[in-house]
Chain A
Amino acid sequence: MALSRLSSRSTTLLQPLATTSLLRRRHISTDTTPITVETSLPFTSHLISPPSRAVETSSQELLSFFRDMALMRRMEIAADSLYKAKLIRGFCHLYDGQEAVAIGMEAAITKRDAIITSYRDHCTFLGRGGGLFEAFSELMGRTTGCSKGKGGSMHFYKKDASFYGGHGIVGAQVPLGCGLAFAQKYSKEEAVTFTLYGDGAANQGQLFEALNIAALWDLPAVLVCENNHYGMGTAEWRSAKSPAYFKRGDYVPGLKVDGMDALAVKQACKFAKEHALKNGPIILEMDTYRYHGHSMSDPGSTYRTRDEISGVRQVRDPIDRVRKLIIAHDIATEKELKDMEKEVRKEVDAAVAQAKESPIPEPSELFSNIYVKGFGAESFGADRKELRATLP
Chain B
Amino acid sequence: MDSFSSPSSGSSSSKFSTEEFVDQLKTQLAQAYAEEFLETVRGKCFEKCITKPGSSLSSSESSCISRCVERYIEATALAAVEKMQGENHGSPQAPGSGMVFPGLVAVSMYPSVGLLVESDWYGPVGFRD
Q: Do A and B bind each other?
A: no
- Write the residues of chain B forming the contact surface with A, with a CB cutoff of 8 angstroms: none
